[in-house]
Amino acid sequence: MEEEGVGAAQARALCAALEATDLGLDRLWMHYFRLGGEARVMEVDAYLHHALALPGLQRDLLAWAVQELAEGRQIPPLKFAADYRAPDHRSGVRESEAGQPQNLQERGEEED
């Protein structure tokens, strides 16, 4: 999923969680700021209304803040930016090789 689509999906989920918990923007922003968030309250408001894009880290901090504030309450699931990305299979190791011994001695075989 493209970064813009991830941001929009995270904003929709965050709005749903805020509505389910009756957490206000000011309370969310204060907790987000305490966690290290850098966006101003107006920027967060604009993000929630799909008028401004935020970097993935800032979106994740907002999700984290809502999860902490909503502890014990039922909220729609919130994903972090990395949860939207497909697994990367370009690690350089084929799946059939993963976990295989690297040499004969590791396999318990002796060299001739």
What would the pLDDT profile of 28-40 be if each residue is shown by its tens digit?
999 999 999 999 9
Is residue 90 domain-resident?
no
pLDDT tens readout for residues 2-25? 888 889 999 999 999 998 888 899
Is residue 84 domain-resident?
no
Higher pLDDT, 26 or 3: 26
pLDDT at 83: 87
Closest residue by Cα to residue 18 from 5, 6, 27, 9: 27
Distance in angstroms (rounded) separating the CA atoms of residues 32 and 66 = 8
Sorted by sequence, the CB contacts under 8 Å of residue 57 that are 6+ apart come out as 81
Domain of 13 in residue numbering reads as 3-77
Is residue 46 domain-resident?
yes
Tokens at 61, concatenated: 């901090």
Is residue 41 domain-resident?
yes
Number of domains in the chain: 1
- The residue-averaged pLDDT of 50-74 equals 93
pLDDT at 1: 64
